[in-house]
Amino acid sequence: MYRLIDRIVRVLKEIVPEWLVRPLRPLYHRVLASVMAFSYGFPARKLTIIGVTGTKGKSTTAEMVFSILRKAGYTTALLSTIRFAIEDDSKPNLFKMTLPGRGFAQAFMRKALDAGCTHLVIEITSESVLQYRHLFLYLDGLIVTNIQREHIERHGSFAHYVEAKREIVNALVRSGKHMRVLVTNADVPESNSFLSSNVSKALRFSAHELENLSTNDRGIAFDYAGTHFSLSIPGTFNAMNALAAIKLCEAFDIPLSTCTEALSTLPVVRGRCERIEAGQDFIAIVDYAHTPDSLGALYEAFRTQRKICVLGNTGGGRDMWKRPEMGRIADEACEKVILTNEDPYDEDPRAIVDAMTREMKRTPDIVMDRREAIRAALREARPGDAVLISGKGTDPFIMGPHGTKIPWSDASVVREELKRLHFLRSGAS
């Protein structure tokens, strides 16, 4: 059914004028959500559905919950920005959207249910709310990792963006499930305000609950409720992600001992502070950081290293306010900054990069070819340095004008260039 609808919509988009479609779009999305949920038999009613939303940390937190549920013995599926997984069967998300439309989620949930799954973890974005993709998910639990400024142009204002997140919380309130658990970040005023929602359990998490917190470039460790947790993923922000996942699972009667065991063996989260190892004597990291807060948190995770930073600005035509701010943060934190192309869409990529330099005190290197920029950063690295390549994460394409896209993988390019660099240095010696 999903594939049929997808083909029909693609044909209609080619022949129906945009001016005719625009006023009907909200009704179209509502009707489509209803039809697709009905056609697949409302699978979310028969699954325990855990949603994860927030400006940053969604994918990592979803992976953490997925791992804990599996360690607890539940047959579990995952639908996230990074991948679609049913237990060990995993496929990368190549849609360049967190929650694909046209009934994809309903089709995936039906597939998970037919495969014997009892639980499903799903990322939910503010964009999905605009297209009513959050309907008929029948949530049992929801984590709100945080709320920061993002997608301002898309929603019209930060207040409207917050309301889109509130609508996801309301989806939990309306779900009709017996157990409706909300876990939200109490350190952020906007997400803290959700605690008054009419749910079975409304739980807060806060940085002050992380006792004996320690972090280095290899991982984090902390104590919570008398239990020690250790994860092979750096950054205080990931301790907060872990705390949110722990609290959610604890509310569903999963012992803390199971949580700590699952998190201590958490698989690599692709494109999220992902360490690329190829025998080099410096650190190479690929990360999705695409907001000022997440970029600052990434750099803080490697505060003791000399940093060589490669970044652009995700999404031409959107969130223009953050461009000079991203440049300023990189300028202050990094020994060397290389600005490059990311996802210009229909905007001039050089104009995007130029906007990023407005609040930079030093003159950055500008290398518009992203591979060349990564190559230059790796060649610049000395032993013990950290080369931090941010903005794309696992994004599978560089998006250009008129819907064009170039297949891409930051991680693969880094591996290829590290291999090339090793060959060159070996030859020089």
User: Is residue 87 located within the same domain as residue 166?
Assistant: yes
Domain span at residue 314 reads 274-428
User: Is residue 18 located within the same domain as residue 37?
Assistant: yes
Q: Which of 244, 264, 284 is the last residue of a domain?
A: 264
The CATH number of whichever domain residue 327 belongs to comes to: 3.90.190.20
Q: Which of 203, 234, 264 is the last residue of a domain?
A: 264
| Rounded distance between C-alpha atoms, residue 137 and residue 42, angstroms | 8
| Rounded distance between C-alpha atoms, residue 423 and residue 369, angstroms | 22
Q: What is the mean pLDDT of each run of 10 residues along the chain (429 residues)?
A: 65 64 73 92 98 96 98 98 98 92 92 98 94 94 92 83 95 96 96 95 97 96 98 96 98 98 97 96 96 95 97 85 96 98 95 96 98 98 98 95 94 97 69
User: Is residue 130 located within the same domain as residue 250?
Assistant: yes
- Spatial CA neighbour of 169 closest among 157, 155, 183: 183
Going across the sheet that includes 119-123, the strands are 89-92, 83-86, 76-79, 119-123, 48-53, 141-144, 181-185, 201-205
What does the pLDDT read at residue 317? 82
User: Is residue 259 located within the same domain as residue 302?
Assistant: no
User: Is residue 278 located within the same domain as residue 257?
Assistant: no
User: Is residue 33 located within the same domain as residue 175?
Assistant: yes
Asked if the structure places residue 123 within a domain, the reply is yes
Helix spans in 303-345 (H): 323-333
The CATH number of whichever domain residue 81 belongs to comes to: 3.40.1190.10
Asked if the structure places residue 369 within a domain, the reply is yes
User: Is residue 250 located within the same domain as residue 327?
Assistant: no
Q: What are phi and psi of 324, to 5 degrees?
A: -65, -30
Asked if the structure places residue 399 within a domain, the reply is yes
User: Is residue 200 located within the same domain as residue 337?
Assistant: no
Q: Which of 264, 295, 321 is the last residue of a domain?
A: 264
pTM here is 0.93
User: Is residue 27 located within the same domain as residue 103?
Assistant: yes
Asked if the structure places residue 101 within a domain, the reply is yes
What does the pLDDT read at residue 16? 63
User: Is residue 342 located within the same domain as residue 196?
Assistant: no
Which residues are within 8 A (CB) of 298 and not within 5 positions of it... i.e. 6 or more apart? 235, 273, 285, 287, 289, 388, 390
User: Is residue 260 located within the same domain as residue 280?
Assistant: no
User: Is residue 256 located within the same domain as residue 288?
Assistant: no
Domain count, the chain: 2
Asked if the structure places residue 286 within a domain, the reply is yes
Contact 365, 338 (CB under 8 A): yes
Chain position carrying tokens 């199971």: 258
What does the pLDDT read at residue 315? 79
Asked if the structure places residue 269 within a domain, the reply is no
What does the pLDDT read at residue 9? 60
| Rounded distance between C-alpha atoms, residue 146 and residue 255, angstroms | 25
What does the pLDDT read at residue 318? 82
Chain position carrying tokens 């340095």: 385
